[in-house]
C-alpha cells in the first residue's frame, strides 16, 4: 500500500455533520445508532467464536479418493458412469422399516405374552367380557408405544433435507448442471456464493471461500477455506467462488458417517423398556411356577377341565400387572405436560425416567453454558492511549455494512455505547479503502479520511501479526513491545480470542494502541446452576469444538474444573496408546474435552455408559445427532437444527442450563411416583398369586372369576391419580434398585396374602355361625372388600419416604382412593356380584381389620426401606465383592477390539486406494496403446 501523507489524528470534539452514502440500500453504511439497534435485534445471529477448523484429512477417512482430476476438463461421461456404478448415487441410504411389523412388535414381551395367553383362555371358556377387556388393554398399550416411537420422525430424513438438489460440475470439458445425486468421486464442482456443497471435496483453486458449516458443526459462524482444505456436503458458500474435486459422496461423506452413527445408536432399546421387561419376565416365571402348583393339585383331585381352565385364567389375570403400562404412561404423560409448560417438549416419554437417573451431563459450551454472543472484554491499552481512541480505530477497521458483516465486527459495533466518544466520532470518518480479513496476513486494513482531511491506515487483526506489521517498518519501544507481548500471552492462556489494533498516519509512524480480548462469556445463571447441579449429584462434562485454552478458561469461570483435554486420545482407534481401563479412567476423570468431533462425542457417551453411568447429552447441530441418539437422554437445546431435534428425547425452547436442571428435578419427582406405583403393583400381583395359589392348592376353591378380573383392573383405576400426587425430588440420581424393589414387593405381598388368609379362615372359623361374616354376607364379596381396601391403601405407604403419615397425598389421589373404597363397600353391601346383602357390621369389621393390616405393612415397609442390611442381603453383598481386575480386563478387551476394527477399516481403505491406482494405470496403458 502506498504511503499516505497525513498527520496524527485524535478524536475530534468538533460538531461535524455525518457523511451520507448514496450506496444501494442493501450495502449502505448505516447510521451508527440504527446499526447498533439492528444488530441487537437480530436474534438469529449467533456471535460465537469460530471453532477449530475440521479440515484434517486424517480425521475424515471418506473414500480416500484423492483423484488428480484436471479442473479444466473434469471427468468424462464414461468415467462418471463407471464411478457411479462403483460408488453408487450421491445420497444417504435409509432402510424403510415395515410399519405393520413395528406395530406388531409391541405385542411381544413378557407381560404381553401373559395377557395374550389369558385372552386365549377366555375364548376357551367363552368369557367374552374378559376377552374384550384383555384385548382392549393390549391394543391400548401397543398404540401408545407405537405413537411414542414415531412421533419424533426420521433423523436420516431430516439430514437429507440439508443436502443439495443440484450441482454444477465440469464434465467433458464443459460446465453443466446435474442432479446432486449424480455427483461422483473425482468430479470437479464449481461453487459460488449461495451454493449448497453437494459432496465432500477439496478446494483446488487459489480463491478464499467463506463457508457456513452450521449444518455440520452446529456453529453458525462462517469459516475460511483455502486451497487444499475440505468443504463438507450440506455446507453453504457465504462468500467467494472456487472449484472443488470431490473426495467422498453419499454414505462416505461426513454427513453420511454422521447418519451411520445415528443408525447404530438407534438400535438400542430404551432403559425404561429394559427395566419393565425384566420385571415382566420375573413375574411371568412366578406365574408359571404358581400354575404348576395349581395344575398338580387339580390333577390330583381330578378336577374338571373347565375348572382347571378357570383356575388358570384367574392366576394368569392377577399374576401380571395388566394396567402397569397404562398407569406408567399416564404418569409420564402428565409429567410431560407439566414440562411443556416449562418450555421442555418431551418427544419420548421414557426419557423422563432416564433423565431422573442421569449421573453425567455432557454439555456443549456455546449457547448452553455460554451466551453464544461474541463479547468484548476490557481492552489492554498501551500507556497514554485513550480506550476511546483504541475502539475508534478498531471500528474504523470494521465493515459497517449490515450485509456481509462478520461476527467480530458486529461485536465491536455493538460495544460502541460503552465508548461514547468513539461512537460520536465514528460517523465523521469516511472509509476510502477497505480490505477484509486476509487469512495470509491475518488482519483487516482500512484507509480512512478524518474530518480534518487526514488519511490514516487502521489495522486490526491477530496480535502477533499486528506486532509483526509494525516491527517490519519501524523499531518498537522495548517497554511497549514487552507490555503488549505479555498481555498477548496472558489473553491467550486465558482462552480469549484477542485482536491487536494499530494505526499509521500517512507519512508518519505506526502507533500500537493495544489489544481487545473477545470471548463468548458464560450465561449469567450458569455458574449458580452448575453449583446446584453438583448438590443434585450431577457431574457436568463440557464437550466443545473450541480450542483447549478457550474451553479451559470457560470451565474455570464456571467452576467445572480445569481438567479439560483435547480429543487426541478419543480417536476412533480407541484412545492411542492408552489401555481400555486407562482410557475409561481418563474420560471419567476429565472435566471436559475440546476440539471434539461427532465421533469423539459419541465415544465419550459410549465409554461413560460402559462404566455404568446414565448419560445425558446436549446438542444443537447435525454433528450432535449421533451422540444425542446414543445418550440415555438426548437434549436438543434452544435453536437446535431439525436433525438434532429429531434425534433428541427432549427439546428445550428456553435457553441455558437452568431449564435442564429444572426438568431434571421434575423428572425425579415423576420417577418417585412411578417407583411407588411399581412396588405397589408388583406387591398386588404377588398378593393374589400367593393367596389364590394356596387357596386352590389347599382347599380347591377360588374367588368368582368375574371378581378376579374386576380386581385386576379395579386395582389400577384409583392409582391412575398417582400421576398428580405430591412427590419430593431426590437430591441424588435415582435408579431402579431392582433387588431391593423385589424384596420390598415380595414381603409386602406376603403380608397382604397373610392378611387375606386370616380374613378367609376366620370367616370359616367354628362353622357357619362364627367368624367375621357371622352368616350376614357372602364370602367372595367380603373377601373382595378386604382385598380392595388393603391393596388401595398400600399406595399411601409406598409413596412416602418415611412413615406413611410423614407425607400427605395430593387431593386427587386421596379422593380417588376414597371413591374406589366406597364403591367396593357398596358392591359388598348390595351383593352385586354373587347376590345377597352383606351386614353393615361385617363391612365395618372388614374396614377395621384392613386398617390393622395397613399399619403392619407400613411398619414393615418403613423398617426395610431404611435398612442397609436388608439392601446388602438383596444384593448378596455379603457374598460378593467387586472384581476390579475382571472389570479392567474387560475394558482392555473392548478397546482392543475397537482398535482392531479400525485397523481393518484402514486396511480396506488402503486396498481401495490401490484399486484406484491400478485402474488409473490401466487407463493410461490403454490411452498409450490407442496413440
Q: What local confidence, expressed as pLDDT, does residue 358 receive?
A: 92
d(CA 544, CA 522): 14
The residue with cell 445463571 is: 525
Residue 669 has pLDDT above 70, yes or no: yes
pLDDT of residue 803: 84
% of the chain with per-residue pLDDT over 90: 15
- Whole-number average pLDDT of the chain: 78
CATH number of the domain that 181 lies in?
2.70.150.10
In what order do the strands lie in the sheet containing 223-225?
223-225, 209-212, 236-239
What's the pLDDT at 540? 92
Q: How confident is the model at residue 22 (pLDDT cuts 50, 70, 90)?
A: very low
Tell me which of 353 and 908 has the higher pLDDT: 353
pLDDT at 34: 58
How far apart are the C-alpha atoms of 637 and 650, rounded to whole Å? Answer: 9
Q: Which triple of cell numbers denotes residue 325?
A: 403400562
**276 and 294 together in one domain:** yes
> Is residue 528 located within the same domain as residue 549?
yes
Domain contains 7: no
**CA proximity to 538, closest of 665, 370, 348, 351:** 665
Q: Give pLDDT, residue 679.
A: 92
**What is the predicted pLDDT for the residue at 49?**
35
pLDDT at 37 over 70: no
Instruction: Please indicate, yes or no, whether residues 137 and 275 belong to a single structural domain of this protein.
Output: yes
Under the banding of pLDDT at 50, 70 and 90, the label for residue 26 is very low
List, in sequence order, every beta strand (DSSP E) within 180-235.
188-191, 200-203, 209-212, 223-225, 230-231
Q: How many CB atoms lie within 10 A of CB 79?
A: 19
What is the per-residue pLDDT across 363-394, written as a single tens digit (0 to 9) for each? 888 778 888 788 888 999 999 899 999 999 99
pLDDT in tens, 584-637: 888 888 999 988 877 888 889 989 998 889 999 988 777 788 888 889 899 988
Best-predicted range by mean pLDDT (156-170, 189-203, 754-768): 189-203
Mean pLDDT to the nearest integer, 115-126: 82
46 membership: H or E segment, kind and range = none
**Residue 833 — φ and ψ, nearest 5°?**
-95, -55
Least confident of 101-105, 201-205, 483-487, 588-592: 101-105
DSSP characters over 630-648 = HSSEEEE-TT--HHHHHH-
CATH code for position 30: 3.40.1110.10
Give 13's pLDDT tier (boundaries 50, 70, 90).
very low
What is the rounded average pLDDT of the residues 70-87?
Answer: 87
Q: Is 26 a catalytic residue?
A: no
Same domain membership, residue 639 and residue 550: yes
In a domain, 888, yes or no: no
List the catalytic residue out of 200, 364, 520, 662: 364
Q: Are residues 563 and 683 in the same domain?
A: no
Max avg pLDDT among 64-73, 274-283, 414-423: 414-423
- CA 307, distance to chain mean position in Å, is 54
Who wins on pLDDT, 248 or 641?
A: 248
Domain containing 775 equals 106-148+268-343+663-874
Interatomic CA distance for residues 218 and 197, integer angstroms: 16
Q: pTM higher than 0.75 for the full model?
A: no
Give yes or no for a contact between 454 and 503, defined as CB atoms under 8 angstroms apart: no
Are 861 and 717 in a shared domain? yes
What tens digit of pLDDT does each residue of 486-545 get? Answer: 999 898 888 788 899 999 998 889 999 999 998 888 888 888 888 888 999 999 999 887
Which range among 108-112, 589-593, 870-874 has the greatest average pLDDT? 589-593
Query: What pLDDT does residue 896 have?
Result: 58
Q: Could you tell me if 260 and 244 lie in one domain? A: yes
Question: Which is higher by pLDDT, 479 or 325?
Answer: 479
Give the pLDDT score at 577. 56
Domain termination site, one of 662, 690, 711: 662
Range of lowest pLDDT (473-477, 621-625, 682-686): 621-625
What is residue 61's predicted lDDT score, i.e. its pLDDT?
40
Q: How far is CA 418 from the centre of its chain?
A: 39
Looking at beta carbons, which pairs linking 384-388 to residues 24 or more positions away fall under 8 Å?
385/513, 385/514, 386/11, 386/421, 387/419, 387/514, 388/11, 388/419, 388/420, 388/421, 388/422, 388/425
Residues 200 and 289 in one domain: no
On whether both 699 and 838 belong to a single domain, the answer is: yes
Alpha-carbon span 488 to 652, nearest angstrom: 38
CATH number for the domain that contains residue 536: 3.40.50.1000
User: Is residue 780 within 8 Å of 701, Cβ to Cβ?
Assistant: no
How much is the pLDDT for 163? 58
In what order do the strands lie in the sheet containing 166-171? Answer: 174-179, 166-171, 188-191, 242-248, 200-203, 230-231
Amino acid at each position: 500500500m502506498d504511503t499516505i501523507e497525513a498527520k496524527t489524528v485524535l478524536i475530534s470534539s468538533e460538531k461535524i455533520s455525518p457523511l451520507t452514502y448514496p450506496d444501494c440500500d442493501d450495502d449502505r453504511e448505516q447510521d451508527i445508532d440504527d446499526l447498533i439497534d439492528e444488530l441487537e435485534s437480530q436474534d438469529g445471529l449467533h456471535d460465537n467464536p469460530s471453532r477449530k477448523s475440521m479440515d484434517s484429512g486424517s480425521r475424515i477417512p471418506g473414500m480416500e479418493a484423492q483423484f488428480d482430476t484436471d479442473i479444466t476438463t473434469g471427468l468424462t461421461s464414461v468415467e462418471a458412469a463407471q464411478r457411479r456404478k462403483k460408488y453408487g448415487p450421491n445420497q444417504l441410504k435409509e432402510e424403510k422399516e415395515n410399519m405393520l411389523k413395528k406395530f406388531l412388535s409391541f405385542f411381544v414381551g413378557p407381560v404381553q405374552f401373559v395377557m395374550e395367553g389369558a385372552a386365549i383362555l377366555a375364548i376357551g371358556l367363552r368369557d367374552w367380557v374378559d376377552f374384550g377387556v384383555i384385548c382392549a388393554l393390549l391394543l391400548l398399550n401397543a398404540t401408545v408405544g407405537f405413537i411414542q416411537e414415531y412421533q419424533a420422525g426420521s433423523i436420516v430424513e431430516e439430514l437429507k433435507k440439508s443436502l443439495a438438489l443440484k450441482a454444477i460440475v465440469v464434465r467433458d470439458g464443459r460446465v453443466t448442471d446435474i442432479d446432486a445425486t449424480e455427483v461422483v468421486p473425482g468430479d470437479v464442482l464449481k461453487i459460488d456464493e449461495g451454493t449448497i456443497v453437494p459432496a465432500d471435496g477439496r478446494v483446488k483453486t487459489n480463491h478464499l471461500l467463506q463457508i457456513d458449516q452450521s449444518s455440520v458443526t452446529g456453529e453458525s459462524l462462517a469459516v475460511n477455506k483455502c486451497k487444499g482444505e475440505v468443504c463438507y456436503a450440506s455446507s453453504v458458500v457465504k462468500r467467494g467462488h472456487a472449484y472443488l474435486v470431490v473426495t467422498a459422496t453419499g454414505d462416505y461423506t461426513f454427513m453420511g458417517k454422521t447418519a451411520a452413527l445415528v443408525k447404530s445408536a438407534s438400535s438400542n432399546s430404551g432403559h425404561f423398556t429394559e427395566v419393565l421387561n425384566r420385571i415382566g419376565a420375573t413375574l411371568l416365571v412366578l406365574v408359571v411356577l404358581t400354575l404348576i402348583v395349581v395344575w398338580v393339585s387339580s390333577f390330583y383331585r381330578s378336577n374338571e377341565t373347565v375348572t382347571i381352565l378357570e383356575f388358570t385364567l384367574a392366576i394368569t389375570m392377577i399374576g401380571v400387572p395388566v394396567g402397569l403400562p397404562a398407569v406408567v404412561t399416564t404418569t409420564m404423560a402428565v409429567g410431560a405436560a407439566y414440562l411443556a409448560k416449562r418450555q421442555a417438549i418431551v418427544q419420548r416419554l421414557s426419557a423422563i425416567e432416564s433423565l431422573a437417573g442421569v449421573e453425567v451431563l455432557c454439555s456443549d459450551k456455546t449457547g448452553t453454558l455460554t451466551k453464544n454472543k461474541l463479547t468484548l472484554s476490557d481492552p489492554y491499552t498501551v500507556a497514554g492511549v485513550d480506550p476511546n481512541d483504541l475502539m475508534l480505530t478498531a471500528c474504523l477497521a470494521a465493515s459497517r455494512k449490515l450485509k456481509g458483516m462478520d461476527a467480530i465486527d458486529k461485536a465491536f459495533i455493538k460495544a460502541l455505547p460503552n465508548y461514547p466518544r468513539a461512537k460520536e466520532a465514528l460517523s465523521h470518518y469516511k472509509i476510502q479503502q477497505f480490505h477484509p480479513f486476509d487469512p495470509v496476513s491475518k488482519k483487516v486494513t482500512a484507509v480512512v479520511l478524518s474530518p480534518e482531511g487526514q488519511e490514516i491506515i487502521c489495522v486490526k487483526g491477530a496480535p502477533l501479526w499486528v506486532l509483526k506489521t509494525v516491527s517490519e517498518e519501524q523499531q518498537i519501544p522495548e517497554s511497549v513491545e514487552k507490555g503488549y507481548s505479555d498481555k498477548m500471552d496472558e489473553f491467550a492462556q486465558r482462552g480469549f480470542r484477542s485482536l491487536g489494533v494499530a494505526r499509521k498516519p500517512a507519512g508518519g509512524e505506526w502507533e500500537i494502541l493495544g489489544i481487545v480480548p473477545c470471548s463468548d462469556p458464560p450465561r449469567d445463571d450458569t455458574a449458580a446452576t452448575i453449583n446446584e447441579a453438583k448438590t443434585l449429584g450431577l457431574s457436568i462434562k463440557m464437550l466443545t469444538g473450541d480450542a483447549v485454552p478457550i474451553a479451559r478458561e470457560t470451565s474455570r469461570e464456571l467452576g467445572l474444573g480445569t481438567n479439560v483435554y483435547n480429543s487426541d486420545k478419543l480417536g476412533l482407534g480407541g484412545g492411542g496408546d492408552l489401555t481400555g481401563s486407562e482410557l475409561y479412567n481418563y474420560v471419567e476423570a476429565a472435566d471436559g474435552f475440546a476440539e471434539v468431533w461427532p465421533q469423539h462425542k459419541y465415544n465419550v457417551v459410549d465409554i461413560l455408559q460402559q462404566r455404568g453411568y446414565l448419560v445425558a447429552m446436549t446438542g444443537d447441530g447435525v454433528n450432535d445427532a449421533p451422540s444425542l441418539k446414543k445418550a440415555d437422554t438426548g437434549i436438543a437445546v434452544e435453536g437446535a437444527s431439525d436433525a438434532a431435534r429429531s434425534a433428541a428425547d427432549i427439546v428445550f425452547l428456553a435457553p441455558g442450563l437452568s431449564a435442564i436442571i429444572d426438568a431434571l428435578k421434575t423428572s425425579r419427582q415423576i420417577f418417585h411416583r412411578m417407583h411407588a406405583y411399581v412396588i405397589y403393583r408388583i406387591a398386588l400381583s404377588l398378593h393374589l398369586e400367593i393367596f389364590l395359589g394356596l387357596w386352590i392348592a389347599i382347599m380347591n376353591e377360588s374367588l368368582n372369576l368375574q371378581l378376579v378380573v374386576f380386581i385386576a383392573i379395579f386395582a389400577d383405576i384409583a392409582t391412575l391419580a398417582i400421576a398428580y400426587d405430591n412427590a419430593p425430588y431426590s437430591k441424588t440420581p435415582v435408579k431402579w434398585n431392582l433387588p431391593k424393589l423385589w424384596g420390598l414387593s415380595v414381603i409386602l405381598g406376603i403380608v397382604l396374602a397373610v392378611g387375606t388368609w386370616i380374613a378367609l379362615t376366620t370367616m370359616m372359623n367354628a362353622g357357619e355361625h362364627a367368624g367375621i361374616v357371622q352368616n350376614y354376607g357372602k364370602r367372595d364379596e367380603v373377601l373382595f372388600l378386604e382385598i380392595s381396601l388393603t391393596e388401595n391403601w398400600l399406595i399411601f405407604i409406598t409413596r412416602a419416604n418415611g412413615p406413611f403419615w410423614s407425607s400427605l397425598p395430593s387431593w386427587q389421589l386421596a379422593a380417588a382412593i376414597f371413591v374406589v373404597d366406597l364403591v367396593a363397600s357398596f358392591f359388598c353391601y348390595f351383593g352385586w356380584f354373587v347376590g345377597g346383602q352383606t351386614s353393615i357390621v361385617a363391612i365395618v369389621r372388614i374396614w377395621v381389620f384392613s386398617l390393622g393390616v395397613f399399619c403392619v405393612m407400613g411398619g414393615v415397609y418403613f423398617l426395610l426401606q431404611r435398612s442397609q442390611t436388608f439392601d446388602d442381603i438383596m444384593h448378596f453383598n455379603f457374598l460378593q465383592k467387586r472384581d476390579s481386575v475382571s472389570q479392567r480386563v474387560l475394558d482392555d478387551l473392548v478397546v482392543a477390539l475397537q482398535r482392531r476394527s479400525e485397523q481393518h477399516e484402514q486396511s480396506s481403505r488402503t486396498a481401495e486406494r490401490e484399486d484406484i491406482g491400478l485402474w488409473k494405470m490401466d487407463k493410461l496403458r490403454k490411452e498409450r496403446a490407442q496413440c
